[in-house]
A and B are shown apart, each in its own frame.
Chain A
Amino acid sequence: MISVSKLLCDLDAESDGLRYDAADGSKEPQITNDKQERPVVVWNTTKRCNLYCEHCYAAADQEGAPNELSTAEGKALIDDLAEFGVPVLLFSGGEPLVREDLPELVAHAADSGVRPVLSTNGTLLTRERARELKAAGLKYAGVSVDGLPERNDRIRGEEGAFDAAVRGIEACLDVGLKTGLRYTITEHNVEDLAGVVDLLVDAGVDRFCFYHLDYGGRGADISDVDLSPEATRRAVADLCDLTREYHEAGEEIETLLVGNYADAGHLVEYADREMGTDRARLIYRYLQRNGGDPTGERVADVDPVGNVHLTQFWQGYSPGNVRDRSFGAIWSDESNPLLGALREREDRLSGRCADCAYKGVCRGGSRLRALAAHDDPFAPDPKCYLTEAERDGNAALSRIGSGSVADAD
Chain B
Amino acid sequence: MVEKTDRTGGSDGARSADGRRFEVFVREEEADPLRHVGTVAAPTPDAAHEEASKLFAWYARDVWVCPADETHRYSVESLADEGKDDEADGGEDADAPADDADEPRVYEETEGTPHVSCGGAPAADTDGAEGSR
Contacts and interface: CB of A to CB of B under 8 A. Distances in A.
B127 A319 contact: no
B132 A79 contact: yes
Contact of B95 (A79, A306, A321, A338): A79
B128 interface: yes
Interface residues of B, number: 47
Interface size grouping (class) on chain A: 35 or more
B41 A65 contact: no
A75 B88 contact: yes
A71 B95 CA distance: 11
Nearest to A332: B127
Interface stretch (A150-158, A369-377, A387-395): A369-377
Contacts, number: 143
Contacts of A316: 18, 40-41, 51
Interface string B113-130: 000011101101011101
Contact of A321 (B15, B89, B122): B15
Interface in B19-50: 21, 26, 35, 37-41
B11 interface: yes
A58 B39 CA distance: 16
B84 to A, nearest CB: 6
Which of A68, A108, A305, A318 gathers the greatest number of chain B CB atoms within 10 Å? A318
A322 interface: yes
Nearest to B17: A65
A399 interface: no
B54 A319 contact: no
A333 to B, nearest CB: 8
B15 A67 contact: yes
A80 to B, nearest CB: 6
Interface in B68-125: 73, 75, 78-82, 84-85, 88-89, 94-95, 117-119, 121-122, 124
A59 B80 CA distance: 27
A307 B37 contact: no
Nearest to B126: A329
Contacts of A377: 54-55
Contact of B127 (A68, A73, A329): A329
A317 B40 contact: yes
Given A317-B55, A325-B117, A375-B54, A83 B127 contact: yes
A337 B82 CA distance: 33
Contacts of B58: 341
B13 A326 contact: no
A211 interface: no
B16 A305 contact: yes
B128 to A, nearest CB: 4
A329 B128 contact: yes
A80 B51 contact: no
A303 B17 contact: yes
Contacts of B18: 47, 58-59, 65, 217, 303, 315-316
Which of A71, A307, A315 gathers the greatest number of chain B CB atoms within 10 Å? A307
A335 interface: yes
B124 A325 contact: yes
B17 A324 contact: no
B80 A73 contact: yes
Nearest to A377: B55
B124 to A, nearest CB: 4
Contacts of B94: 72, 75
B26 A337 contact: yes
Contacts of A73: 79-80
B14 A66 contact: yes
A335 B122 CA distance: 10
B61 interface: no
Q: What 10 A-B pairs come out closest when comparing CB atoms?
A: A72-B88, A65-B17, A329-B124, A328-B127, A72-B80, A67-B14, A66-B14, A319-B38, A67-B13, A76-B80
29 contacts: A58-B17, A58-B18, A65-B18, A67-B15, A70-B80, A71-B85, A72-B85, A73-B79, A75-B94, A76-B88, A80-B127, A80-B131, A83-B130, A108-B95, A303-B17, A303-B18, A306-B15, A307-B16, A307-B39, A317-B39, A318-B40, A320-B38, A324-B11, A324-B73, A326-B127, A332-B127, A336-B37, A337-B26, A338-B56
Given A65-B18, A76-B79, A320-B38, 19 more contacts: A65-B17, A72-B80, A75-B80, A75-B95, A76-B80, A80-B127, A80-B131, A84-B127, A303-B18, A305-B15, A305-B16, A319-B37, A324-B121, A326-B131, A336-B37, A337-B26, A337-B37, A337-B59, A338-B55
Interface of A: 44, 47, 58-59, 65-73, 75-77, 79-80, 83-84, 104, 108, 217, 303-307, 315-326, 328-329, 332-333, 335-338, 341, 371, 375-377
Interface of B: 11, 13-18, 21, 26, 35, 37-41, 51, 54-56, 58-59, 73, 75, 78-82, 84-85, 88-89, 94-95, 117-119, 121-122, 124, 126-128, 130-133
